[in-house]
Amino acid sequence: MNWRISKEDQRFKDAFLKLEVPPSDFSHRSHVRLAYIFLTELDVNEAYSAVKRAIQAFLSHFDIDSSKYHETLTMAWLLAVKHFMMKTPLATSAADFIEQNLTLLDSGIMLTHYSKEQLFSDEARQAFVEPDLDAIPLYS
């Protein structure tokens, strides 16, 4: 597999880690982009730790309620992005990867794996819970 990031992707990651990306510019697409960037460099568990730290720092820095952070959604989206990466042999940037996998822009796709009750439970916010409807394929 040949997944790359562009210079713009690296600048985006650096800016996000330096807390220079304002909340108004951090959309669902940005979340997918960040997941892809980290997954080109790290395995799923390492990417999860890095993304978790980055998002929690982002929320704290911009004084956003920490309850916005959701453990299960963070891991589930990383697993989903990794799954689509495994089906995409070549991507020259995050934008290229996303363009090849537009399904990832549908934030509702997690509801094909999780019931609303499970996904939005307090337990799922605080710790990763497995899907109760359809498993997300696992890759390291």
Per-residue pLDDT of the chain (140 residues; tens, 9 = 90+): 799 999 999 999 999 999 999 999 999 999 999 999 999 999 999 999 999 999 999 999 999 999 999 999 999 999 999 999 999 989 999 999 999 999 999 999 999 999 999 999 999 999 999 999 999 988 76
Q: Where are the domains of the chain?
A: 2-126
pLDDT at 88: 95
Residue type, 11: R
pLDDT at 140: 64
Report how far residue 118's alpha carbon sits from residue 64's, in angstroms, rounded to the nearest whole number: 24
Q: Is the CB of residue 110 less than 8 Å from the CB of residue 124?
A: no
The DSSP symbol for 101 reads T
Q: Which of 58, 61, 81 is nearest to 69 (CA)?
A: 58
pLDDT at 16: 98
Report how far residue 131's alpha carbon sits from residue 117's, in angstroms, rounded to the nearest whole number: 11
Give buried/exposed letters for 44-75 (b at 16+ CB in 10 A, else e): beebbebbeebbeebbeeeeeeeeebbbbbbb
Q: Is the CB of residue 101 less than 8 Å from the CB of residue 88?
A: yes
Residue type, 122: D
Report how far residue 140's alpha carbon sits from residue 47's, in angstroms, rounded to the nearest whole number: 10
Q: Is the CB of residue 77 less than 8 Å from the CB of residue 31?
A: yes
Residues counted in the chain: 140
pLDDT at 76: 97
